[in-house]
Amino acid sequence: MSAPVFDVARIGPGEGSIAPRTRLTSDAPTQSLDGRWRFRLSPSPALAPHDGWTAGDTDGWDEIAVPAHWNMSGFGTPAYSNVQFPFPIDPPYPPDENPVGDYVRRIDVDDAIRQVTDAGGRVLLRFDGIESAADVFVNGTRLGSTRGSRLTHEFDVTDHLTGTGDVVAVRVAQFSDGTYLENQDMWWLPGIFRSVTLLARPVGGIDDAVVTGDFDHETGRGAVEVTTSADAVLEIAELGIRQGVPAGRSTVDAGEVGPWSAETPRLYTATLRTASETVSVRIGFRRVRADDGVLTLNGRPIMLRGVNRHEHDPDRGRVHTTELARRDLVLMKQHNINAVRTSHYPPHAELLDLADELGLYVIDECDLETHEYEYVSWRGNPSDDPAWEASFVDRIRRTVTRDRTHPSVIMWSLGNESGAGCNIRAMARWVRENDGTRLIHYEGDHSSRDTDVYSRMYASHDEVRRIGEEADEIAPADIGAAELRRRSLPFVHCEFGHAMGNSPGGVKEYWDLYERFPRLAGGFIWEWIEHAIAVEDEHGRRAFRYGGDFGESVHDHNFVIDGLISADRDVRPGLVDYAAIVAPVVIEVDAARRRIRLQNRYDHVDTSHLAFRWRREVDGETVAHGELTVPAVGPRQRAEVPLPDEARVVSGSSVADVLTVDAVLREGTSWASAGHVVATGQHVAAGTPRVGQASAPEPDEFDRRGRPLRLGSLGVVDGPGIGIWRAPTDNDLFPGWDEPTLPPMAERWALARIDRMQTRVRSVESDAAALVVDTRVGAPSFDSGVDALWRWSTVPEGLLLELDLRSIGSWDNSWIEKAPFSWTVDWARLGIDVTFAGAPVGMEFAGYGPGPSYPDTASGVQFGWFDAGADDLVTPHVRPQESGSRRGVRTAVIRTTEGGVRVSVVGGEALDAGVALTVSPWDRTTLSTTSHASLLPTPTATHVSIDIAQSGVGTATCGPGVLPRHRLPARDASFALLFETA
Ligand code: GAL
């Protein structure tokens, strides 16, 4: 057997495959080659044996599943890196240490396919995804190679198959020249990770076809654009269309049609038939345009309420399953998301079927990213090197060609973070020449010379406002025609709101801008899913891992854990917040004027599919409820609707009198059942708590430092004391892009030592009405801190605490001699910390919930009476950090295994806003020093913080830090709490 050379360092696309074709559903026979394959792993191409394996000699080999990644299947381990490249930038060469996987499968061709070939037809061997480069053999003959891991390649194998005992062999290299174009901030996961299929191609069949629907909003008529490789009969039964279409291009008038949009995902099934084959395509009639700086669909402006989605399964990597893909898109729809950017490669083909069907706009992104060149100042970037042109054009051609029938795809994205250059231009040219039915998106070249939209990632709020005002400048010295053109393009914020850990804050402020300026077409949160990898830990429990956990020498830690949902698809608080921010309906309850103000933010539909249900709750009891009569409010229209007499709030309750109006789906849809809440508006009238006559508490209920031994029936293990620190969130650990030269907040806190404050009791005195304790809590080495005056008294209801807090000293870096920059030490929070005996059992609370929120992530919570179990108290972030705060709490019962305490707000400034309550199984030092959730100790105590003020969380891991209005500069406060046994 001659030794085929496995060339993994050759600039250029794959070779030997047939021209890319549209993905069509055909009645021609197919045969899945998914399943068990023989497998052998070698450490590098040089060490991969040339021993006749391509002809089926696989004695002693292992087995592997296809589709799968070999390093998720027990052959090697996964590795994660972001911008930095895992090997030297020495294009087109991969390193010598470059695992090679050999795959072999012996097959008997199905009779149905054989009948087609017996009649003169052909057979194709299709690979939907191989990372990163493969050579393909049938019965020992090399057919060619693949490049473009997430792109389809088809080989004509007709002349190589015998029908029985045929050997399909594939040699895959983890790294190749192609890797230089695929540095997409994700796990490096080699192997045949998408399906392998044999496809029969009958004589006289339809080898390729494009069928799309165009909608003319002025006439309400549709047109079907057909391009087919063979004369065929087009049929769209629902529209009464049945007519011949010749090979080539034609347009068929469809008459009056229902248009497709994300809000009305109306699909029609079209078939193209020849004597030997019928293909079917689900088409939608829609027209997308950039009209005078506004993104429109079917003549109406649209807002993209988007997320970036990678393909990720915590157990399988980038292997697609219908179940997870559907779960993702259904969750998106349920959370008011209407757009997906398929970062940063074309998704599995089925995802687009689901997007068409459920109604989501898609930016379909090419499999391209050369971000590693940032480390070498973009020297030699392939995007601008003509030698790579064929590779780039091949990638966009395969992307567009496969997916061009999908109505959901409204933009082609040329790739991600690959800089500018001649090859990006060549890609854009190819798209313009081959598909006029979508816009072109690309963020990497801010001149936007080749795109139809101006796209940016993580622009600051201020910059986004300037873009909205068309006053943004990227080339102030040269306001030429190109720059003027760019300023007139619709703006897409292709990544914003970096959802890493307890995040993203400040999204609402972005959304207000998008709503204000017609040029701003919305944005896409980075990102949808956390890419944690599931493993079994030493106790046999499911645990999650991130970069560095598999011994990688070059890695980016937990930067891959930055999603609105966990890898297991648990909803993170950021998604709840986003759902409310982007809600298609805004309800403002004007209790004084006894009406609601409604804003319909749907772009295409009125509100008639929604019912508006109201309820009045007083101190946790629903005292009245009903449904409002709301006229259909048209898209992007507003209305005012009167409230009935019983729908009112009055003062006089003890906790709160709350009027809530929910907009709910009247009928079930494919993504939610009837009654699903789309938007909520509320008016909360805070109650007036009363406490009886105060007297001094019994001294034996306090220790000598004036601290209560118990609160309610709970033994106090530590505290209460004053705290202004939190366990740093991921965002706290990064300098915000708005303050790139300043130390991250967490570092400022550590420098100011607010993470290790010490308390000195200045006096403990008793008068007739109270035990008065004067404390100073200070940071080691500094004279700054917080003075606290605690007044404890017994009231008939329980124990009353009146607390006065005063900031002392200065909170900045003026103490650092010759500091090049000055900064302030804003606090994380201001409140009481107390540790109770017993592990947490849960809490019932009246406040904003049901989930956690912070000042800049507070859109998705409503006032209510909630019960959080032990597992709901804090968010199980993969890297432990601060989480779990319930804000606006007026009263709560905290339960541990040892008992319970009710804490209620009874005075001071907390009467207006309530307090933020965090009940955690772990103290902040443990949270901040434990690398993984799975390593947190079994809880033995309950750590409670009652905060009168908090800082927001911002999105500093990528983007601005906490916005000034959500920061917490040092300040004074006073409030009163009542503790009762519960
Ligand atoms: C962007 C990039 C994404 C991701 C993100 C950080 O620059 O496009 O792929 O890396 O930053 O999580």
When pLDDT is cut at 50, 70 and 90, the band that residue 912 belongs to is confident
| C-alpha 954 to ligand 1 mean position (Å) | 17
User: Residue 479 pLDDT > 80, yes or no?
Assistant: no
By most ligand atoms within 8 Å of CB, the mutation choice from 80, 81, 82 for ligand 1 is 82
User: Residue 551 pLDDT > 70, yes or no?
Assistant: yes
Distance set, CA 747 to CA 5, 676, 757, 813 (Å): 53, 43, 15, 12
When pLDDT is cut at 50, 70 and 90, the band that residue 461 belongs to is very high
At residue 481, the pLDDT reads: 86
DSSP H or E run through 802:
strand 798-808
- Which of ligand 1's atoms lies nearest the C-alpha of 498? 12
Q: What is the mean pLDDT of residues 504-523?
A: 98
Q: What is the mean pLDDT of residues 191-220?
A: 98
| C-alpha 498 to ligand 1 mean position (Å) | 9
Q: Find out whether the beta carbon of 185 lies less than 6 Å from any atom of ligand 1.
A: yes
- As given in the structure block, the two tokens for residue 87 are 């090997």
Q: Find out whether the beta carbon of 374 lies less than 6 Å from any atom of ligand 1.
A: no
Q: Find out whether the beta carbon of 82 lies less than 6 Å from any atom of ligand 1.
A: yes
At residue 445, the pLDDT reads: 95
What's the CA angle centered on 643, arms 639 and 648, to 5 degrees?
135
Residue 747 is among the residues annotated as catalytic for this protein: no
Rama region for 706: left / alpha / beta (φ>0; ψ in -120 to 50; rest): left
- Which of ligand 1's atoms lies nearest the C-alpha of 958? 6
Residues 651-688 pLDDT 10s: 888 999 999 999 999 999 999 999 999 999 999 999 99
The pTM is what?
0.98
The average confidence (pLDDT) of the chain is: 97
Q: Which residue type is seen at 66? A: V
When pLDDT is cut at 50, 70 and 90, the band that residue 819 belongs to is confident
- Which of ligand 1's atoms lies nearest the C-alpha of 560? 12
At residue 482, the pLDDT reads: 86
Residues 847-877 pLDDT 10s: 999 999 999 999 999 999 999 999 999 999 9
565 φ, ψ (degrees, to nearest 5): -130, 155
- Which of ligand 1's atoms lies nearest the C-alpha of 344? 9
Distance, CA of 639 to CA of 600 (rounded, Å): 8
Runs of H (alpha helix) within 86-127: 111-118
Residue 417 is among the residues annotated as catalytic for this protein: yes
800 φ, ψ (degrees, to nearest 5): -105, 135
* Nearest CA residue ID for atom 4, ligand 1: 185
Residues 258-282 pLDDT 10s: 999 999 999 999 999 999 999 999 9
Distance set, CA 636 to CA 301, 546, 595, 629, 775 (Å): 9, 43, 20, 19, 56
Distance set, CA 411 to CA 21, 289, 290, 943 (Å): 19, 10, 11, 49
User: Residue 890 pLDDT > 90, yes or no?
Assistant: yes
Catalytic pick among 311, 389, 443, 495? 495
| C-alpha 925 to ligand 1 mean position (Å) | 30
* Nearest CA residue ID for atom 9, ligand 1: 185
Nearest partner of 168 among 133, 140, 193, judged by Cα: 140
Q: Around Cβ 699, how many Cβ atoms within 10 Å?
A: 12
3-state secondary structure of 894: strand
| C-alpha 371 to ligand 1 mean position (Å) | 10
Residues 637-654 pLDDT 10s: 999 999 999 999 988 889
User: Residue 470 pLDDT > 90, yes or no?
Assistant: no
At residue 1, the pLDDT reads: 45
Strands (E) located in 687-736: 710-711, 714-723
Residues 135-171 pLDDT 10s: 999 999 999 999 999 999 999 999 999 999 999 999 9
Q: Find out whether the beta carbon of 496 lies less than 6 Å from any atom of ligand 1.
A: no
Q: What is the mean pLDDT of residues 408-414?
A: 98
At residue 475, the pLDDT reads: 63
By most ligand atoms within 8 Å of CB, the mutation choice from 83, 84, 85, 185 for ligand 1 is 185
Q: Find out whether the beta carbon of 416 lies less than 6 Å from any atom of ligand 1.
A: yes
| C-alpha 337 to ligand 1 mean position (Å) | 20
Q: Around Cβ 74, how many Cβ atoms within 10 Å?
A: 11
Catalytic pick among 182, 235, 372, 417? 417
| C-alpha 185 to ligand 1 mean position (Å) | 6
Query: Which residues is 222 bridged to in the sheet?
Result: 215, 255
At residue 434, the pLDDT reads: 97
At residue 4, the pLDDT reads: 65
The percent of residues above 70 in pLDDT, for the chain, comes to: 99
Least confident of 234-238, 466-470, 916-920: 466-470
Residues 835-847 pLDDT 10s: 999 999 999 999 9
| C-alpha 442 to ligand 1 mean position (Å) | 14
Nearest partner of 454 among 414, 488, 416, judged by Cα: 488
User: Residue 543 pLDDT > 60, yes or no?
Assistant: yes
At residue 472, the pLDDT reads: 76
Nearest partner of 691 among 946, 974, 976, 915, judged by Cα: 976
**Domains identified in the chain and CATH numbers:** 25-201 (2.60.120.260), 209-289 (2.60.40.10), 360-580 (3.20.20.80), 584-670+680-686 (2.60.40.10), 708-759+818-981 (2.70.98.10)
By most ligand atoms within 8 Å of CB, the mutation choice from 343, 417, 446, 730 for ligand 1 is 417
Distance, CA of 532 to CA of 314 (rounded, Å): 6
What's the CA angle centered on 749, arms 743 and 750, to 5 degrees?
90
**Residue-wise burial string across 970-982, b where 16 or more C-beta atoms lie within 10 A, e elsewhere:** beebebbbbbbeb
Distance, CA of 562 to CA of 13 (rounded, Å): 32
At residue 880, the pLDDT reads: 98
Distance, CA of 306 to CA of 493 (rounded, Å): 9
User: Residue 621 pLDDT > 80, yes or no?
Assistant: yes
Distance set, CA 742 to CA 739, 820, 821, 951 (Å): 6, 9, 7, 18
